Amino acid sequence: MRELRVAVLIIAVSLPSFSASDRQGDALYDMKQKLNVTGNQLSDWNQNQVNPCTWNSVICDNNNNVIQVTLAARGFAGVLSPRIGELKYLTVLSLAGNRISGGIPEQFGNLSSLTSLDLEDNLLVGEIPASLGQLSKLQLLILSDNNFNGSIPDSLAKISSLTDIRLAYNNLSGQIPGPLFQVARYNFSGNHLNCGTNFPHSCSTNMSYQSGSHSSKIGIVLGTVGGVIGLLIVAALFLFCKGRRKSHLREVFVDVAGEDDRRIAFGQLKRFAWRELQIATDNFSERNVLGQGGFGKVYKGVLPDGTKIAVKRLTDYESPGGEAAFLREVELISVAVHRNLLKLIGFCTTQTERLLVYPFMQNLSVAYRLRDFKPGEPVLNWPERKRVAIGTARGLEYLHEHCNPKIIHRDVKAANVLLDEDFEPVVGDFGLAKLVDVQKTSVTTQVRGTMGHIAPEYLSTGKSSERTDVFGYGIMLLELVTGQRAIDFSRLEEEDDVLLLDHVKKLQREGQLGSIVDRNLNQNYDDEEVEMMIQIALLCTQSSPEDRPSMSEVVRMLEGEGLAERWEEWQQVEVTRRQEYERMQRRFDWGEDSVYNQEAIELSGGR
């Protein structure tokens, strides 16, 4: 009876966390239904899945609380669900650029953690609800380009945290609450309000905005004329310089304004000016280089507000589609949102440069924490390594199975898995290789990747697939277990295999896997878990891509499902393959002796 009470108590204590996940998932699913989502959009928003943190365009914190939902420019034509108000941890909600109608539900005032609300460029009507004044943490409120009417609620003036409010181009009328003119950025243009000509206050601040789909006809005309004149001046200068400096070529940067390209819906993505990133990285100083990979160097930078960023300066960026193709790829990368994927926050293009901007990961990469850490810095312990393994697997699973088109990474390794402030793994450098359509095979004329991590079929044929990434992931698991590099010529000194995979296979055959576990762990690990991770690694690195598991299967195996059966099959195949190899080796040795003997006889006979 006592045991029964304990069981009931445990269930009762655990119910709140399950119900919280249920409420969040139910609220988001109701949002999906109310928005009239059609086709394959949000196909992974599954009502039967308790935890919505793996859903597309949903970001959660470490406690599985939904904190961001970004669904800009998806073509949704429904209405807003009142149940959105149940997401009490939500900080960012972006639904800009859709065709959402109806009004803003009063329940939005319950979003007590909200800092950014962007509903710009929809078909919303009615009055702005006064309940929005309860959003005490709100910093950004964008309701421009809708059909709101009535007056601006006085309650909005009570939000002391507000730094940017945009209500332009609606049908609002009446008085603007005085304190809103004290907000750092505001725009009330295109309404019937007490601002502008004949009023003490202008309808907008002079500070430029990152986005905004509405501009006046005068602005368009002046912009067009100015652009044409600017182009003529640039062309004249170019011809002049070309004539004067034929013998001295130098790099010429033609900057692009720091604003969003509205031809493509980038949601919260920022388009940086070249000068911004040049200043942030101290003119791309070598002192700020964080690393260098197959796609270019990565620089640490600091924005004027103190935000630390990582700027990837791409090499070999040119493609037949030019800038338009690059922007399409940027858009596809930006909508791949998952807690275990590095979030793209911005980009920059000039005539000679392509740059991507990411948040700076203060704990750097898994490779750094395994091999390059400085004295006194913490070593990745075994629980953290397990978390890296499962988090990376989930991130790759998302790229392969939840992105459309799917994204093949093609350079999975410990150096491309970064660690945030909580040592949560995030996969970086994804989407920089060719994006692959579901019905196409990826064939590239240039193999991208790192020796020791590249799958054999990719290296020999140039053909990559999801299973190419699975191979690289398997090598990364071996890095986690051993702390060693995928290829290390120093092992030759001990007459060991140069490739880490071959080295581990040899020790596995000899039953000496314990000798290869990273010594930095000081034997603080679980033997069974180490063995399990090595088994999964060897399944992932089979020579035939068809024999390798998918990343979703890898996730299940890491969670304890299906490994035993796969491993037993692998052992049987490996024994057969080993016997065949040894038989061929003996035949080769016999043939080699016969050839040498025959040559000796012929030479003797000739004399």
pLDDT above 90: percentage of residues in the chain = 35
369, 419 Cβ separation under 8 angstroms = yes
Is 399 annotated as belonging to a binding site? Answer: no
The pLDDT confidence band at residue 433, using thresholds 50, 70 and 90, is low
- Position 288 pLDDT exceeds 70: yes
- Position 196 pLDDT exceeds 90: no
- Position 469 pLDDT exceeds 80: yes
Quote the pLDDT of residue 238: 46
Catalytic, out of 118, 261, 411, 429: 411
Collapse the DSSP code of 274 into the 3-class scheme (helix H, G, I; strand E, B; otherwise coil) and give the result. Answer: helix
Which of 119-128, 178-187, 334-343, 569-578 is predicted least confidently? 569-578
Quote the pLDDT of residue 255: 34
Q: Is 411 a catalytic residue?
A: yes
Highest mean predicted confidence (pLDDT) among 205-214, 385-394, 581-590:
385-394
Higher pLDDT, residue 119 or 506: 119
DSSP annotation of 102 reads: S
The pTM for the full model equals 0.54
Quote the pLDDT of residue 449: 66
The pLDDT confidence band at residue 537, using thresholds 50, 70 and 90, is very high
Q: pLDDT (tens digit, 9 = 90+) per residue, 436-457?
A: 333 334 344 456 667 778 888 8
- Position 161 pLDDT exceeds 80: yes
The pLDDT confidence band at residue 217, using thresholds 50, 70 and 90, is very low
**Average pLDDT value over all residues in the chain:** 78
Backbone angles phi, psi at 470, to 5 degrees: -60, -40
Quote the pLDDT of residue 480: 94
Quote the pLDDT of residue 34: 93
CA 479 to chain centre: 22
Is 296 annotated as belonging to a binding site? Answer: yes
Quote the pLDDT of residue 23: 83
Q: Which of 185, 215, 178 has its CA nearest to residue 200?
A: 178
Which of 128-137, 344-353, 533-542, 594-603 is predicted least confidently? 594-603
Is 50 annotated as belonging to a binding site? Answer: no
Q: What is the mean pLDDT of residues 77-95?
A: 93
As a whole number of angstroms, the distance between CA 607 and CA 602 comes to 9
Q: What is the mean pLDDT of residues 156-183?
A: 92
Quote the pLDDT of residue 407: 86
Q: Which of 422, 271, 335 has its CA nearest to residue 58?
A: 335
- Position 52 pLDDT exceeds 70: yes
Quote the pLDDT of residue 224: 46
As a whole number of angstroms, the distance between CA 396 and CA 398 comes to 5
Higher pLDDT, residue 106 or 441: 106
Count of residues making up the chain: 607
Backbone angles phi, psi at 320, to 5 degrees: -55, -30
pLDDT above 70: percentage of residues in the chain = 74
The pLDDT confidence band at residue 279, using thresholds 50, 70 and 90, is very high
The pLDDT confidence band at residue 35, using thresholds 50, 70 and 90, is very high
As a whole number of angstroms, the distance between CA 380 and CA 423 comes to 9
Is 295 annotated as belonging to a binding site? Answer: yes
The pLDDT confidence band at residue 177, using thresholds 50, 70 and 90, is very high
Is 406 annotated as belonging to a binding site? Answer: no
Q: What is the mean pLDDT of residues 565-590?
A: 69
- Position 182 pLDDT exceeds 80: yes
Quote the pLDDT of residue 323: 66
Q: What is the mean pLDDT of residues 563-583?
A: 74
Q: What is the mean pLDDT of residues 506-518?
A: 82
Q: Which of 545, 562, 544 has its CA nearest to residue 553?
A: 562
Is 297 annotated as belonging to a binding site? Answer: yes
* 545 beta partners: none
Higher pLDDT, residue 525 or 295: 525
Q: Find tokens 């190419």 and name the residue.
A: 468
Strand 147-150, strand 125-127: pairing: parallel
Q: What is the mean pLDDT of residues 380-389?
A: 93
Higher pLDDT, residue 122 or 1: 122
Quote the pLDDT of residue 406: 85
